[in-house]
């Protein structure tokens, strides 16, 4: 059964969660957290998304983000950021 499509409304805050596969840990050192935040900052600047709050846990992430465009949110906090930051 397909997942319900996300509704993204520009200029409004969205709660975004990301988690490791099978809820496994994704952050192991303080450098992992730093790398994730740096990647996230770069992509949010690139796609014009403002993050107004975040919580980084060992196995998941919560973000409150405001996109300026409909497609910007998915691009900014998508798989590229998550994979790049959790590879190290």
pLDDT tens profile 11-64: 999 999 998 889 899 999 999 999 999 999 999 999 999 999 999 999 999 999
User: Where are the chain's structural domains?
Assistant: 14-87
Distances (CA, A) of 46 to 25, 28, 49, 50, 51: 27, 27, 8, 11, 13
Nearest to 59 by CA among 32, 19, 30: 19
Q: Burial-class residue 40 by CB neighbours within 10 Å (0-12, 13-18, 19+).
A: buried
CA separation for the pair 12, 25 (Å, rounded): 30
* Banded model confidence at residue 78, pLDDT cuts 50, 70, 90: confident
Class of domain 14-87: alpha beta
């Amino acid at each position: 059964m397909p997942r319900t499509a996300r509704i993204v409304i520009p200029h409004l805050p969205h709660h975004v969660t990301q988690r490791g596969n099978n809820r496994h840990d994704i952050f192991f050192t303080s450098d992992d957290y730093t790398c994730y935040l740096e990647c996230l900052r770069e992509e949010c600047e690139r796609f014009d998304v403002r993050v107004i709050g975040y919580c980084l846990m060992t196995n998941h992430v919560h973000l409150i983000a405001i996109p300026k465009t409909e497609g910007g949110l998915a691009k900014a906090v998508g798989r590229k950021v998550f994979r790049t930051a959790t590879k190290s």
